[in-house]
Amino acid sequence: MDDTDTVAKSDSQWRQELTPERYEVLRKAGTEAPFTGEYVYNKESGMYRCAGCGCDLFSSESKFDSGTGWPSFTEPAVAEAVELKQDNSHFMRRTEVLCRRCGGHLGHVFDDGPSDGRSPGQRWCINSAALQFAPKS
């Protein structure tokens, strides 16, 4: 299977394959508590992949310390790997980030990331539970 193949599974299959925390985040759009995720402080070089389907999502080269308590990135490794959707839950207007391959909830993207001086950059605020890290070999 390559990164363009769609992954479609039943809810019971997802429940069996994912840990309870990953299921809550990826399939129910949950959010892990800030500063508790496995990758918040990770500084290793490598690729962050979707914990649901293994699709390459974010490179360690775009990771930065936002101070928010979640892994933050300036951009996806491959723009086509993610899908954006308006999220008006919790009385807020946000942009949800989904894995395009399996539809898993990853987190949200905000326009308050590092700036290049011309315009504010983006902060892709992603749950550690939605990711699996593959160190660079």
User: What span, in angstroms and rounded, lies between the C-alpha atoms of 3 and 61?
Assistant: 20
Q: Is 118 exposed, middle or buried (0-12, 13-18, 19+ CB in 10 A)?
A: exposed
From the candidates 50, 55, 102, 125, which is the catalytic residue? 125
Strands 82-87 and 94-99: antiparallel
Does residue 102 have an active-site annotation?
no
| Other beta carbons less than 10 A from residue 24's beta carbon | 17
Q: Which of 4, 22, 12, 29 lies closest to 100 in space, CA to CA?
A: 4
Which amino acids are annotated catalytic?
125
